[in-house]
Amino acid sequence: MKKGMLVFWAVLFAIVVIGVGSSLFLNRGPGQLDSFTQCLKDKGAIFYGAFWCSHCQATKKLFGKSAPLLPYVECSTPDGQNQTQICKDKNINGYPTWIFPDGSILTGERTLQELADKTSCPLPE
């Protein structure tokens, strides 16, 4: 291999390593909605969705870095063709669906304010 090509690949490798490392470093730390998301979980709200559902993805996007803390239940089987038994048992007919301890249900995309109002969880300022 020519020296110039070796230098090219070394520089390219260094750029990739620095890029991946910095993205991991920058994504660390708490999300802006961590306390709100934890409150939803503590209040017993459960978010039922499917990985292929664009409205579920939009809902998760609302939560940003706090999305992994959501009280989320995946309703789709891995092949995307069927529904899991837990969601059948809960009669989940559409996504996203939020179920609350009092038995009430909210379906479709909801705002953070609607979820805050329903659960009395405070939104960060």
Report residues of the chain scoring pLDDT below 50. Answer: 24-25
**For the chain, which residues make up each domain, given as ranges?**
1-30, 34-119
Residue partners of 98: CB distance under 8 A and separation at least 6 = 45, 46, 47, 48, 105, 106, 107, 110, 115, 118
The pLDDT score that the predictor gives to residue 24 is 47
The pLDDT score that the predictor gives to residue 123 is 95
What Å distances lie between residue 86 and 73, 79, 90, CA to CA? 9, 17, 6
The pLDDT score that the predictor gives to residue 125 is 83
Quote the CATH superfamily of domain 34-119.
Answer: Glutaredoxin (3.40.30.10)
User: Does the predicted model carry a pTM greater than 0.85?
Assistant: no
Give the residue ranges of DSSP H helices in 51-124.
54-63, 85-89, 112-119
The widest CA-to-CA distance across the chain, in whole angstroms, is 70
Closest CA to 60 of 50, 46, 70, 75: 70
DSSP label of 3: H
